[in-house]
Amino acid sequence: MATGRPVVTTDSPGCRKTVVDGENGLLVPVRNADALAAAMLKLARDPALRARMGAASLQLARERYDVYKVNEVIFGAMGLSG
């Protein structure tokens, strides 16, 4: 995400938190090789879709995983001021 790439991942706990399906990547069912291949081919065949989803991934990474925001949450949980 931080490198501006679309994400293809499984629709499973932890993984699905990083992807808004159809916006910054594609979610595929767990253990479904055909769905994985189809998602990868979809992105491989559509440069405009890759670019759009990649830009959305970068934006999402900046919003959710900015080091200052993450540290603020951690410090707050620890009862410390940042």
Q: Is residue 46 part of a domain?
A: yes
In a domain? residue 2:
no
Residues making up the chain, counted from first to last: 82
- Please state, in angstroms and rounded to a whole number, the distance separating the CA atoms of residues 49 and 35: 18
- The one-character DSSP state at 70 is H
Residue 38, in any domain of the structure: yes
What are the tokens at 31? 């253990």
Q: pLDDT digit string (tens) for 21-69?
A: 999 999 999 999 999 999 999 999 999 999 999 999 999 999 999 999 9
Say if 1 falls within a structural domain.
no
Question: What's the CATH number where 49 sits?
Answer: 3.40.50.2000
How many structural domains are present in the chain?
1
Identify whether 61 is part of a domain.
yes
DSSP 51-71: HHHHHHHHHHHHHHH-HHHHH
HSE (CB half, 13 Å, CA atoms) of 13?
A: 0
* Residue 82: predicted pLDDT: 57
Is 43 inside any structural domain?
yes
- Read off the tokens for 17: 């938190």
Question: Which domain, by its residues, includes 37?
Answer: 7-78
